[in-house]
């Protein structure tokens, strides 16, 4: 009997070591996939339920939970709904959160092939139709998500209460030397330095290698394949037609979408304010979650109709 117990224990130990080794390999080779899994688990732990919505290109994955005014949170290109995991807990206590994977990202269709802006926009509109019936949510978008939020507000001003754009927008970007599709580890390092604040530690080399891999085959690469169709979705010269209130929340260390880019939008919008997240980069919800929540709550509580280009 004792030998049987010993064998069982040894077998369990071996299984544990194998699982640990496999997990270590996955973390080493695919750290971005591990991060996505962990962040999506965090959404579930915060009380958000995972559901699907019928989209024009197939099912759209949506995480939803909380009570109160609705915030529709839209992540950036190449990311997924778990990008918001570090800000969900303080927000879900005050708001109803609806967080989709944009079309072609995370668990949302299409799972292969190019991703065009029209499909991404139509996917968000499908989420709005299915999950925001009879209400006007606030659209909070980062990077590509901010661009989409503006487009939805431009097309459906009667269905949007407010837009909060986090380091992103619908006008032509400034000319920069930031390569968002790096081909080498050194290029990836320079890209990450441009996208993060001065105090943020540089990510390890094996993570940079995965950034390079995703630059070849991930959603951002698939989205970039349709670059020639994107100008039709820009609002240069038409930004003043966005009549809903706009709050611009900006990581001011971002060298891809700079503070000057945000100020250009403020100058063209009829009702907008600009809030800075100090010493933070392009994706504040990941890099500076505490500071972002503080600024975001301030922006969401600002009185409607008194923007006037104020900056804080």
Q: 280-294 burial string, b = 16+ CB within 10 Å, else e?
A: bbbbbbbbbbebbbe
Is residue 44 pLDDT above 90, yes or no? yes
52 and 61 Cβ atoms separated by less than 8 Å:
yes
Q: 216: Cβ–Cβ under 8 A, 6 or more apart, which residues?
A: 181, 183
Determine the 3-state secondary structure of 9 from DSSP: helix
Give 119-170 as a DSSP string: HHHHHHHHHHHHH-TTS-PEEEEETHHHHHHHHHHHH-GGG-SEEEEES--S
Residue carrying the six token digits 């611009």: 248
Q: Percent of the chain at pLDDT above 90?
A: 85
pLDDT tens-digit profile of 120-144? 999 999 999 999 999 999 999 999 9
Q: 242-265 burial string, b = 16+ CB within 10 Å, else e?
A: bebbbbbbbbbbbbbbbbebbebb
* 41-57 mean pLDDT: 97
* 167-185 mean pLDDT: 94
302 and 265 Cβ atoms separated by less than 8 Å:
no
* 226-236 mean pLDDT: 97
* 215-239 mean pLDDT: 96
pLDDT tens-digit profile of 86-101? 999 999 999 999 999 9
- pTM comes to 0.91
Per-residue confidence (pLDDT) for residue 23, from 0 to 100:
32
CA distance 256 to 173: 8
Task: Look up the CATH number of domain 28-311.
Answer: 3.40.50.1820
In angstroms, the Cα distances linking 256 to 46, 166, 167, 192 are: 31, 13, 9, 10
Please work out, in degrees rounded to the nearest 5, the angle formed at the alpha carbon of residue 75 by the alpha carbons of 198 and 45: 95
Q: 172: Cβ–Cβ under 8 A, 6 or more apart, which residues?
A: 234, 236
* 11-32 mean pLDDT: 42
Residue carrying the six token digits 């918001």: 84
pLDDT tens-digit profile of 257-312? 999 999 999 999 998 999 999 999 999 999 999 999 999 999 999 988 766 667 77
Count CB atoms within 10 A of the CB of residue 232: 8
Please give the backbone phi and psi of residue 89, each rounded to the nearest 5 degrees, phi first.
-55, -50
């Amino acid at each position: 009997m004792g030998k049987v117990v010993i064998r069982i224990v040894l077998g369990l130990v071996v299984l544990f070591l194998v699982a640990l080794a496999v997990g270590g390999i996955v973390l080493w080779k695919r750290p971005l996939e591990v991060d996505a899994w962990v962040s999506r688990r965090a959404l579930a732990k915060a009380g958000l339920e995972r559901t699907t919505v019928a989209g024009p290109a197939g099912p759209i994955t949506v995480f939803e939970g909380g009570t109160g005014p609705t915030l529709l949170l839209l992540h950036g290109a190449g990311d997924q709904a778990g990008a918001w995991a570090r800000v969900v807990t303080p927000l879900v206590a005050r708001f109803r959160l609806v967080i989709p994977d944009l079309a072609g990202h995370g668990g949302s269709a299409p799972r292969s092939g190019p991703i065009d802006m029209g499909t991404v926009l139509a996917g968000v509109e499908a989420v709005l139709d299915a999950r925001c019936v009879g209400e006007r949510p606030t659209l909070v978008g980062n990077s590509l998500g901010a661009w989409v939020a503006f487009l939805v507000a431009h097309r459906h001003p009667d269905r949007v209460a407010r837009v909060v754009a986090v380091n992103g927008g619908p006008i032509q970007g400034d000319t920069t030397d930031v390569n968002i599709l790096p081909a080498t580890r050194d290029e990836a390092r320079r890209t990450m330095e441009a996208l993060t604040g001065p105090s943020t530690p540089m990510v390890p080399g094996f993570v940079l290698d995965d950034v390079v891999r995703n630059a070849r085959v991930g959603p951002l690469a698939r989205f970039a394949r349709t670059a020639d169709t994107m100008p039709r979705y820009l609002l240069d010269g038409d930004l003043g037609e966005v009549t809903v209130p706009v709050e611009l929340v900006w990581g001011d260390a971002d060298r891809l979408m700079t503070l000057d880019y945000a100020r250009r939008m403020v100058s063209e919008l009829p009702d907008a304010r600009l809030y800075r997240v100090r010493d933070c980069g392009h994706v504040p919800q990941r890099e500076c979650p505490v500071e972002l929540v503080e600024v975001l709550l301030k922006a969401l509580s600002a009185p409607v109709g008194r923007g006037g280009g104020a900056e804080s």
